Amino acid sequence: MPPYILTYNNQKPRALPKSRGFLLLPCPMLTVSWHPYDSITPQHVGYNLSDFDSSEEGAADWPAYVRQYPAEWHPHLEAVRQSIIKQGIWAGGDWHQESPHGMPVVSSGHYWSSTWRDWGELLAAVWNTELSEKFTSMDFYISGHRLPSKPPTLPPMS
């Protein structure tokens, strides 16, 4: 994979260190839009954030979940988390892969494309922290199977 230089807010790019594939410059505000799972092509400039997940088992809450990733990716993950909360995303991994709006793409070009189980881990970590619950990856593995009832205080999915 060739190295990419990512810049934000028209900052001047710097040379890439030889040991890294991406150079991440400070980014004061990242936004997230939602796209079809198969919308990312090999020509897409960006990295799949789910590839950094190094856990054997899902983390119980958001702080533990984020600690699995290198620190430079935390702002991108936080942008995804905030969008999940704002959009009221409460759906299984099947929705993530099959919905026309199931894959979060960060304004930096990075995205979250994962297995049903990894999607479940992401949502469990987000909602465990937000709602003080004890969800597992299997709760958000597939819509309709074990998907818990959505709290009425959450916004409808848009």
Q: Which pLDDT tens digit goes with each residue over 111-135?
A: 989 999 999 999 999 999 999 999 9
What are the two backbone dihedrals, phi and then psi, of residue 46, each rounded to the nearest 5 degrees?
160, 170
pLDDT band at 40 (very low <50, low <70, confident <90, very high): confident
Tell how far CA 37 is from the center of its chain.
12
Maximum average pLDDT range among 21-25, 107-111, 143-147: 107-111
Q: How far apart are the first and last CA of the chain?
A: 35
155 vs 20: CA distance, rounded Å = 39
Report residue 51 as tokens: 């590839």
Six token digits for residue 70: 């290198």
Report the DSSP pairing between strands 22-23 and 4-5. Answer: parallel
Q: Which two tokens stand for residue 36?
A: 């079809």
Place of tokens 């304004």: 107
Residue with tokens 């959009």: 87
Q: Which structure tokens are listed for 18?
A: 């030889």
**Averaged pLDDT of the chain:** 80
Q: Is the pLDDT of residue 54 over 60?
A: no
Residues near 10 by beta carbon (within 8 Å), at least 6 away in sequence: none
pLDDT bin (cut points 50, 70, 90) of residue 57 is low
Query: Could you tell me the sign of the dihedral formed by the alpha carbons of 18, 69, 42, 26, in that order?
Result: negative
